[in-house]
């Protein structure tokens, strides 16, 4: 997320509902791209895939 997205989503920024909605939409779009990227990494660069999983997954 960008700093602005974080501020809008957390309410730290004085933003309209529309600006908060736009920030959420941008983050959702990035998540969709990340899903595609993880598939590519898993197949073509397993080491980077493992690093990504370690960074974002809680494997308790």
Query: What confidence tens digit (pLDDT) does each residue in 3-59 have?
Result: 999 999 999 999 999 999 999 999 999 999 999 999 999 999 999 999 999 999 986
Residue, of 16 and 60, whose pLDDT is higher: 16
Query: Based on the structure, what is the number of domains in the chain?
Result: 1
The pTM of the full predicted model, rounded to 2 decimals, is: 0.75
Residues spanned by the domain of 13: 3-56
4 CB contacts (<8 Å, ≥6 apart)? Answer: 13, 23
Handedness of CA 15, 21, 25, 27 (dihedral sign): positive
């Amino acid at each position: 997320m960008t700093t602005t997205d974080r501020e809008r989503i957390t309410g730290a920024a004085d933003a309209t509902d529309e600006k908060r909605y736009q920030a959420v939409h941008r983050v959702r779009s990035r998540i969709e791209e990340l899903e595609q990227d993880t598939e590519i990494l898993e197949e073509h660069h397993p080491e980077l895939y493992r690093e990504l999983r370690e960074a974002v997954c809680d494997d308790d």
